[in-house]
Structures are given as C-alpha cells and as structure tokens.
Amino acid sequence: MNSPLLEPYRGPALHLPNRTAMAAMTRARADDATGAPIPLMAEYYAQRATAGLIVSEGIWPHRLGKGGPGVPGLTGQAHVEGWRRVTRAVHDAGGRVFAQLWHVGRVSHPDILGGEQPVAPSAVAVSPGHGQIYTASGPQEYVVPRALTTAEVTETVEAHASAARNAIDAGFDGVEISGAYGYLLAQFLSDNANLRTDGYGDHVRFVIEVVEAVAAAIGADRTALRVSPGNPLLDTVETDPASRYHRLLDALNGMDLAYLHVVQSGKYAALADLRPRWNGTLVATYDGPEPGSREQAEQALRTGLADVYSFGRLFLANPDLPRRIADDAPLNPQRASGMYGGGGEGYVDYPVLAGSSVGPAPGSDIR
C-alpha cells in the first residue's frame, strides 16, 4: 500500500530510505553495575533495522545522569565496546542508528547514583503527586536535588560532547540530545525547576550550549535535539512555551543540525507553531495514552508538519513495522511484560510477518 511513510527522505544532512523512525525507548537491560550494553541489545536493535532511522534508548552522558537500573552509559571504554556490537549489528542489517544522550537531572535517586545526590538546575524536587522514582529496591519518593554550580554546568556541557565523541567512536551515525520529557535539559527550560540567578537562569542557554558543544565535537550534520514543548511531565512547567521555543529555534536554526525532533503532547500545538519556524529537517512524535498511529503519522507528513515520523510503542511490538505498513498488515499488540528490564521476553520475541527479515527497508537504496 502506498504510504508517505515509505518514501525516501533526503534532507540537507539526513538521508533515509523511509520516513519511519523508531523513537528512543528505555528498555533497562544494560549491565547495571557498569552501564555497558549486553549482546541481547544488539539483537533487539538489529531486528528493527528496517526503520528509516533508529534512535537508541536514552544513554547517560555523565555518571550523575543515570535515571534507573539497567540504563546504559556512554562515558567509558566498556560502553563504547558494548555499543560497537549494537551499531555493527544494525549496520550489517542495513539500518542507521543515532544514540540518544539522556541526562535525567533531578529525576534520579542516590540508590541509582551509587549514593550521590541527583543534580539539577536548582534545588527543587519533583513534587509529590508526580509519581515515584523506580530503583533496584522498588519505587521511592523523589529527593531534593543539589543545584549544579556554574562550573559543574560547564562540566555537564562538556560531558555531552565527550559522550557524543564516544558515540561516533562506537559506530553510531549521530546523536540525538534529549531535551524532552522533564529531564535535565527540560528542567533548564522550565520555569519552576530552573530558579538560577547565574547566566543559566536564561532558560534556553544550557540547551544551546549543549547542542553547540556536541555539534563542535561530532559535526552539526550528526547532531539532533529532541524537545517536548509545553509537556508538563515530571513536574516541569513552561508557562509560555511558544516564546521559549521560538527563542530556542532562532538560536538553533543557523546551525544546520541533522534534525529537530518535536514531541507534541498536551495543550500547546507545537508542531503547527514550530514547523514554519524551523529551517531544517523535522521529526515528529505525537505522545498520548494510545500509541501514535499510522494515520496520525501520514497526516503529519502529508500536511508538511513533519519530514519523518517517529514511532515508539508500535516499533517496540512490531520489529518489521515498515513492512507491515507496506502490506497493510495487522499490528502486534504490545505486551505489558518485559517493557523495562528482564531478558528476551517482551524484548526480542515479538513476531515478524512471514518472509520478513532484517535488512534494507522496502524500496531502499539510500544509506
């Protein structure tokens, strides 16, 4: 069946065989003591290599950026070697994969950080009523984080650049910086988590510096940013998302990044507002209680709101999603078990259609 999702994409920097990306999804299967990826992760990603682009699960770029048990890192040699197995498996299967750098800031816990206190723009905790933090001993209340000193903010910017270099060393095709969903960069962007009185009280400055540092380290054409404007997740409030993100885009527009990834959820119509203001490639995700659908994705492409659409849960349960779109085939439902942590169950055992195999996406000759 004809679908704009299956058309190739040729952006200024990004060339994809189809417009179906796999969104970053934390699956919590790395070695918890070291943060090194395990071989099963290579199998999982290679199974999904027919995506136009895979974005890896969130990966901590600094030891204090880790947000839960089994979340992988990208700060040391063991991480690079583990990820190299993953990227090789994806490339051998014909795919492309970006690493998502994900510093969680205050959304962590001393039990996750080897006894250290989580860090944040300001010493403001996620308030009660916004869930709990999952640790190896079960869910716990959020703690009050420690405000990063100005020197530590610089160190954290540098940590992103260093992890990005490691990502390229490990064979990733690029890096997507997580600025979405209430984590460290989104905490800086927010009005209630960033009460700083130094230069980083300017809510967009940290994000811009991280993007600049990563782009300087690995090239702007391999650097991407994910944002979720107006998303109140994890107790972050942006009272006027339009003006904040206009300012951010004004600063990023000249940089020629690989792409900007916009998650639309909540009240602010981010895609309609930001698309006309963004000069480069735009990847979109709609986030709501139900998984983003093929119909929503096709509509976003047809109306020009996005160049590429990124699916999370549908790719989790359907390793051969582009083929299923091409064949108009039914989709596997997602199972509750195995979402976070565990072994292969609910991870590498989702069935593919008969005749599907990992390999270049339908109709693809572009790499």
Ligand X SMILES: Cc1cc2nc3c(=O)[nH]c(=O)nc-3n(C[C@H](O)[C@H](O)[C@H](O)COP(=O)(O)O)c2cc1C
Annotate 298-341 with DSSP letters as a single string.
HHHHHTTS-SEEEESHHHHH-TTHHHHHHHTPPPPPPPSTTSSS
Decide whether 85 or 103 has the Cβ nearer to ligand X: 103
* Residues assigned a catalytic role: 183
Q: Does 270 bind ligand X (CB under 6 A)?
A: no
| 209 lies in the binding site for ligand X (CB under 6 A) | no
Residue 170 vs 263, nearer CB to ligand X: 263
Among 256, 313, 317, 352, binds ligand X (CB under 6 A): 313
**Binding-site size, ligand X (CB under 6 A):** 22
d(CA 281, CA 222): 12
H/E run at residue 9: strand 9-10
Minimum distance between the CB of residue 314 and ligand X, rounded to whole angstroms?
6
Run of H or E residues at 227:
strand 223-227
Interaction between residue 346 and ligand X (CB under 6 A): no
Return the number of the residue (250 or 345) whose C-beta is nearest ligand X: 345
Q: Which listed residue (44, 102, 259, 350) binds ligand X by CB under 6 A?
A: 102
Give the nearest distance from C-beta 326 to ligand X in angstroms.
Answer: 19
Q: How far is the CB of 24 from ligand X (least distance, A)?
A: 4
Distance of closest approach, residue 288 Cβ to ligand X, in angstroms:
7
Q: Count Cα atoms within 13 angstroms, Cβ side, for 172.
A: 32
Residue nearest to ligand X (CB): 312
Residue 214 or 314: the one with the smaller Cβ distance to ligand X is 314
Strands 282-286 and 308-311, bridge-based pairing: parallel
Q: Kindly state the smallest distance separating residue 65's Cβ from ligand X, in Å.
A: 12
Tokens of 358: 């990992």
* Amino acid residing at 302: R
- Paired tokens of 249: 């885009």
Locus of tokens 């572009």: 366
Chain-centroid distance of CA 44 in Å reads: 17
Under rule CB under 6 A, residue 58 binds ligand X:
yes
Closest CA to 103 of 90, 113, 111: 113
When binding is defined by CB under 6 A, the residue of 188, 311, 347, 350 that contacts ligand X is 311
Least distance to ligand X from the beta carbon of 178, Å? 5
Which token pair is 56? 């890896």
According to the binding rule CB under 6 A, does residue 226 interact with ligand X?
A: yes
Cα(140)–Cα(81) distance, rounded to whole angstroms? 33
Cβ atoms of 54 and 93 closer than 8 Å: no
Which residue among 118, 174, 292, 338 contacts ligand X (CB under 6 A)?
A: 292
- Judged by the rule CB under 6 A, the positions of this chain that interact with ligand X are 23-26, 57-58, 100, 102, 178, 180-181, 226, 263, 285, 287, 291-292, 311-314, 339
